[in-house]
Structure 1
Amino acid sequence: MAKTIRLRAEQFRKAARLAGYRSDYALANAMEVERSTVHRVLKGDLQPGPAFIGGALTALAPMQFEDLFEVIPVRL
């Protein structure tokens, strides 16, 4: 079965607040992605890609992949 990565949105938001990011804009700058990308991934309209994942793990360190993301099956 195929797999994809999904953001753990609540954990991501909590980690961002605890790291001191008060807006999607500030977080996006730290992640080096567009603010609209953060917004769309948080809404579930866009799957997190490599730039988003890498940026999140860098900006929200010491959070680990498993803290912020989950691997789920995809129905084909």
Structure 2
Amino acid sequence: MKFFYKILLYFQKHGYYVCQRIADRFGMRAKLVRTSFIYLTFVTLGFGFALYLFLAFWIKIKDSLYTKRSSVFDL
């Protein structure tokens, strides 16, 4: 049972980051974005989950390509 909670904690820490980034981008609350993905998943029979995975992949690629530099001299 402890293994299950470790997996759950891992997904809660890293999985909600996508919703947080989307909410920050649009100036919304993250809770609203999370519930929207949940409702979209139930209504469209999995399309919301596929969209969530696509956005997570896109954010990962974007973060690896565009790094935040603090000054011009960090090049």
Structure with more helix by fraction: 2
Indicate whether the TM-score tops 0.5.
no
TM-score for both structures, normalised by structure 2: 0.33
TM-score for both structures, normalised by structure 1: 0.32
Structure with more strand by fraction: 1
